[in-house]
Structure 1
Amino acid sequence: MTKTTTTDFDTLRDGDTIDGPTFAVSRESIRLFCDASLDYNPLHLDDDYMKGDFGRTNFGGIIMHGMNNFGLISRMITDWLPPEGVHRRLETRWVKPVRPGDVIQPTASIKARQTTHKSRWVLLDVQVRNQKGEQVAVGEAMVEFPSPTGAAA
């Protein structure tokens, strides 16, 4: 496994990895995401609400929006892709809550590559880990590298 910063499709290999930016989660960053997403669910804002059991889970305090993981993964992918590349699909599953004080980082590994008549495709396994190395989100993404003679569809 090698870390890749290249976005040259022909030099990519299965197992190559990509590191995304780290993100320090704070009450302020959670509040800003509430404002941006218009999601003011009390599980992101209200410590008193989160003191008890939430459904079958006791989170022990407010938690970050899961979609913030999605945003970090998207940023990693779009920062890595060449300008003509297209981020086509991203599916994630939240594994563990993220709390203020956590530092998270997305990573990806190349799972498969395929060339078609019009494009070249890369399938990525993606994940987000916290400062303890625990997975907080996992998923899969697909990106498109246009063929040298064609444009992305």
Structure 2
Amino acid sequence: MSAQPQKTDDTATELVLDRLLDAPREKLFKLWTDGSTYPNWFCPKPWTVADVEIDVRPGGKSQFVIKGPEGQEFPNRGIFLEVVPNEKIVFTDAFVDAWTPSSRAFMVATVTFADEGGKTRYRATARHWSPDARAEHEKMGFHEGWGIVATQLEALAKKI
């Protein structure tokens, strides 16, 4: 007899940003998959991103450092789990390069891009390991920060 997985209440562990962006999904996806563009949009200003190394494919690494305006540094390591060109990117910090388990697992993120009325429905979902981790991320400014990042992403997409 095998144990059946229990369905969790997604609202207890998920944070969602859902926006209609005035840019083609192909351009938004291109920016997400080109690490050289991250310093221009990936963090709310005056925060910056540096030392970006990404290999956008299932199992490929995602590595960068977020730098604060007062010199703080927050290294981020993870892997991509799923990549569907121009439609979806799934990544996590639960593993680092070569599928090595992370000691700092926090979330799995899914970003989707869908055509909608000549624009793109952009949806970023952060699924956390626990309600406490979700609450911590929300308190850190998930909605404001990820919203600013979406706005910066949209602005850059309009320029390319």
Query: Which structure has the larger Rg over C-alpha atoms?
Result: 1
Higher relative contact order (CA 8 A, sep 6+): 2
Normalising by the smaller structure, the TM-score range is under 0.3
TM-score for both structures, normalised by structure 1: 0.25
TM-score for both structures, normalised by structure 2: 0.24
Tell me which protein shows more strand as a share of its residues: 2
Tell me which protein shows more helix as a share of its residues: 2
